[in-house]
Amino acid sequence: MKTLALSTGLLLASAPLVVAGPYPGAAGTTGSDAIHMNDSAFVAWATGVSELVRGYADIANPDLGYASFGSGSDALGPVGGDTSDDVYSTVSLGDGGWITLTFDTPIRNGEGWDFAVFENSFSDTFLELAFVEVSSNGTDFFRFDSVSLTPVTTQIGGFSHVDPTNIHNLAGKYRQGYGVGFDLAELSFVGAALDINAVTHVRIIDVVGTIDPTHARYDSLGNIINDPYSTPFSTGGFDLDAIGVRYEAVPEPASVAFLAGLSCVSLAWIRRRRRVT
């Protein structure tokens, strides 16, 4: 949600960052695993949108309608720059909304993180979060385990702060220009239902952020995820900027594919001959 007045943005940006959790902190701090948008590791970016389902601007007040800022195409290609026009080139998902992006070449598992998701927060603590899921067939999706250790005794308000050291494996942990990396090896247990060396779809799902059990979303440990709520605007919820790819699947050489096909033909011929004789 990025329709705040400039004065509000400056106030948030200057708020003290209190480090309390066990996970890496904000971009630029010691030990941070934030990935800069110009990192030379990126070889490709999302190129297509297979689905965009908007959530309400405020899930507890449906009469306000749905988030509507941006379009799916605003999440394609590289991350926007640091100008006002680029920062606003995003798609807002609303409370619980989601978007599924595709790629010209599937993503594969490599050493360390394999792809990164970028939001467009203007500070290190105004963090709107999202689950990340992947699929290798566009139908069966599998979610990365996530952790939110943000206390739930008090609702984080629409203009309040989240400590990034309490957040793990949720998109939106870092400010604009810095992505959260995801390692497909973490989903290797899925088995044949997911080919971690041929991921074709990445889905981003807003976490809502309310601590009200009626509409709350939960991390992989069963914790309610507390993030800025409510944000009852057209720009409410997670704002997807881009998804960058580090490792692309290696196409099968034409010669190998030809020989494999030839082998299949030969095997079929042998089987037919056996039936005949």
| 137 assigned to some structural domain | yes
Q: Is the pLDDT of residue 277 over 80?
A: no
Residue 57 and residue 40 in contact, taking contact as beta carbons nearer than 8 Å:
no
User: How many domains are there within the chain?
Assistant: 1
| 79-94 pLDDT per residue, tens | 986 544 555 699 999 9
| 143-164 pLDDT per residue, tens | 999 999 999 999 999 989 999 9
Q: Which two tokens stand for residue 209?
A: 């952020």
| 32 assigned to some structural domain | yes
Domain range spanning residue 208?
6-249
| 40 assigned to some structural domain | yes
| 259 assigned to some structural domain | no
Instruction: Write out the DSSP string of 143-198.
Output: EPP-EE----SSPPPTT----GGGEES-BT-S-TTEEEEE-GGGGGGGGGG--TTS
Strand partners, 67: none
| 52-63 pLDDT per residue, tens | 999 999 999 999
Verify cis geometry, omega within 30 degrees of 0, for the bond prior to 135. Answer: no
Q: Mean pLDDT across the chain, nearest whole number?
A: 88
| 61 assigned to some structural domain | yes
| 1 assigned to some structural domain | no
What is the reported pTM?
Answer: 0.87
| 256 assigned to some structural domain | no
**pLDDT at residue 20 in the model:** 87
Residue 219 and residue 227 in contact, taking contact as beta carbons nearer than 8 Å:
no
Average pLDDT, integer, range 92-104 = 98
| 272 assigned to some structural domain | no
| 103-124 pLDDT per residue, tens | 999 999 999 999 999 999 999 9
Strands 48-53 and 239-240: unpaired
**pLDDT at residue 254 in the model:** 59
